[in-house]
């Protein structure tokens, strides 16, 4: 007959530290990060939908607005007469905006036409 010496069961070796606590900490952090990323993605999607709605509203409003008629073009002004040009030059001379020499040169130019 055989006699065994020693324990029938091997002792359980446990790792040093708290692996369950470490696993909860890592898992909780990963869960929180994933939840935050999902929230940010949802917020961005909501913003994109709101922008798309505003753009469609603007295009609809632009399509509904009748086009404004083109402004009537003014008839080309008739060229000022020689008398009107000399009167304008005389006014500039009296206001001191042009000198006597400039007045004489402009007057000669107008009269030579």
Looking at residue 69, its pLDDT comes to 65
Q: In this structure, how many other beta carbons lie within 10 angstroms of the beta carbon of residue 86?
A: 16
pLDDT tens for each residue of 35-52: 999 999 999 999 999 999
Spatial CA neighbour of 111 closest among 73, 83, 72, 77: 83
Looking at residue 68, its pLDDT comes to 63
Looking at residue 25, its pLDDT comes to 82
Looking at residue 104, its pLDDT comes to 93
Question: Mean pLDDT score of the chain, rounded to an integer?
Answer: 83
pLDDT tens for each residue of 61-106: 888 877 666 666 666 667 788 889 989 989 998 998 889 999 999 9
pLDDT tens for each residue of 18-29: 777 778 888 888
């Amino acid at each position: 007959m055989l006699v065994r010496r020693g324990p029938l069961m091997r002792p359980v070796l446990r790792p040093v530290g708290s692996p369950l606590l470490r696993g909860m900490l890592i898992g909780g952090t990963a869960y929180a990060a994933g939840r935050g990323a999902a929230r940010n993605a949802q917020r961005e999607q909501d913003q994109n939908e709101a922008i798309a709605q505003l753009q469609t509203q603007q295009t609809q409003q632009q399509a509904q607005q009748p086009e404004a008629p083109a402004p009537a073009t003014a008839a080309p002004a008739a060229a000022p007469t020689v008398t009107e040009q000399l009167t304008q030059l005389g006014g500039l001379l009296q206001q001191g905006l042009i000198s006597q020499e400039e007045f004489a040169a402009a007057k000669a130019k107008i009269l030579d036409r």
